[in-house]
A and B are shown apart, each in its own frame.
Chain A
Amino acid sequence: MDQEQIKKNAEFLVNNLSGKEIPGSARFKVRYKKMVDFAGIYGITDPKYVGPEEKGVIACHAFANSFAVNAFYILVPGLKVKQNGEERPLVLNPNKLLHAGNKYNWEDCVDIKNGDVLIATGKISKIWVVEKNLILFAELLLTVKNQNDELVCKVTSTAAIRPGGY
């Protein structure tokens, strides 16, 4: 892809994707074993997060990684826009996609419990290009709720796409 086309694509995506809802949702079933395994990676042993019994155990904060990254990879490919009459995804070459950052917000959120079904929906909250290197940054806002429609986490993921990847 030549420089001119990269610039055109960047301009198109910046002008058309900001604020765009991503169709569909990503669903995750929360299992006790997974919650405990996740806590174990970080040496978390507090009964609040690992038991000894399943009942009453809640997920440690690091558990957010278990759904945030997967939701990102499930939802983003579903985002399509029409450019010059042809439908295209945000990312044309996944090898040029980098996960640049994540922000988790738990304000007004309920705890994640064993057996919960988490449903993540997303939108592109911000998209911009760095002129000097033409790296395109897209900020994806994920809203994650449980089966009772209660908020469990808000995630802001930042993706960086190198020239030729968008």
Chain B
Amino acid sequence: MVKISDIEGGQVIKNEFNGITRDLLKQYAKSSGDTNPIHTNDAIAERAGLKGVIAHGLFSFGFISKLFEDFLEQGKYGKIIEIGVEMRGMVRCGDLLITEASIEKIEGNRVYFNVKQTTFTNIEIKDKDGNIVKKFEAGERGYISDKDREQGLVKTKEISEGVLSYRERVATPGSAIIELYE
């Protein structure tokens, strides 16, 4: 049960999605009616200078609304009043998408959230001698820009196969307001 008395500023709710595929983008294109081929056809996306398909700008919005629907147990404990998003960074197939909402303030029964969607894009794995043992789509297609590197968005971490390099960036900042029933 979610009640105003049980929550406090700074509290964070989150979900993760690791299943962005070309098939899912095709499904979204069909359902949303946004059939711009840069989202479904790599050759056309390449001709548009995108190096490969990109997710629709509002595709990831659904994971924010789902986060709040789940938090409110599908309307049992309150309702969603507003969700706003800015489209800042492109979301690609293979990205891990993490959606987080932190409570900014509480006024009466209304709860105001800062929302952030972060993409984690795997680039490549190198062994201990520096040899590339695996390249991911972002590495193959060159999704990572010099600007990403200059801004320190490209990071590394040790995993069982070697050292994984990946990009971490905020794709969608936003805000949300919900209203709890009690």
Mark A residues whose CB is within 8 Å of B. 34, 37-38, 40-44, 46, 48-49, 60-62, 64-66, 68-70, 99-107, 156, 158
Known A69-B58, A101-B85, A107-B82; judge A60-B66 contact (CB<8 A): yes
Q: How far is the CA of A104 from the CA of B81 in the complex (A)?
A: 8
**B9 proximal to A (CB < 8 A):** no
Known A34-B31, A46-B74, A61-B80; judge A99-B65 contact (CB<8 A): no
Q: Distance in Å from the Cβ of A118 to the closest Cβ of chain B? A: 13
Q: How far is the CA of A106 from the CA of B61 in the complex (A)?
A: 15
Contact, CB under 8 Å: B62 / A41: yes
Contact, CB under 8 Å: B87 / A61: no
**B34 proximal to A (CB < 8 A):** yes
Within 77-93 of B, Cβ neighbours of A (below 8 Å) are at: 79-87
Contact, CB under 8 Å: A41 / B81: no
Contact, CB under 8 Å: A106 / B74: no
**B75 proximal to A (CB < 8 A):** yes
Find A60's partner among B17, B30, B65, B83 (CB 8 Å cutoff): B65
Decide if the interface of chain B is mainly helix, strand, loop or mixed.
mixed
Chain B residues lying within 8 Å of A46, measured Cβ to Cβ, are 69, 74
Find A61's partner among B27, B28, B83, B85 (CB 8 Å cutoff): B83
Please name 16 pairs of A and B residues whose Cβ atoms are closer than 8 Å in the assembled complex, sorted by A.
A38-B62, A41-B28, A43-B66, A44-B69, A60-B62, A61-B83, A62-B61, A65-B32, A69-B56, A70-B33, A70-B34, A102-B61, A102-B85, A103-B82, A104-B83, A105-B82
Q: Distance in Å from the Cβ of A104 to the closest Cβ of chain B? A: 5
**B13 proximal to A (CB < 8 A):** no
Chain A residues lying within 8 Å of B28, measured Cβ to Cβ, are 41
Mark B residues whose CB is within 8 Å of A. 17, 24, 27-28, 30-34, 56-59, 61-63, 65-66, 68-69, 74-75, 79-87
Q: How far is the CA of A38 from the CA of B34 in the complex (A)?
A: 13
Contact, CB under 8 Å: B81 / A106: yes
Chain A residues lying within 8 Å of B59, measured Cβ to Cβ, are 65
Q: How far is the CA of A102 from the CA of B82 in the complex (A)?
A: 11
Find A48's partner among B24, B66, B75 (CB 8 Å cutoff): B75
Q: Distance in Å from the Cβ of A149 to the closest Cβ of chain B? A: 21
Per CB-CB distance, the 6 closest pairs between chain A and chain B, nearest first, are A62-B62, A103-B84, A61-B65, A101-B86, A42-B62, A37-B31
Q: How far is the CA of A99 from the CA of B90 in the complex (A)?
A: 12
Contact, CB under 8 Å: B81 / A105: yes
Known A41-B27, A61-B80; judge A102-B58 contact (CB<8 A): yes
Contact, CB under 8 Å: B74 / A65: no
Contact, CB under 8 Å: A69 / B34: yes
Chain B residues lying within 8 Å of A102, measured Cβ to Cβ, are 58, 61, 84-85
Chain B residues lying within 8 Å of A48, measured Cβ to Cβ, are 74-75
9 extra interchain contacts, Cβ-Cβ under 8 A, other than A48-B74, A105-B81, A106-B82? A49-B74, A60-B62, A65-B61, A99-B57, A102-B61, A103-B84, A104-B82, A106-B79, A156-B84
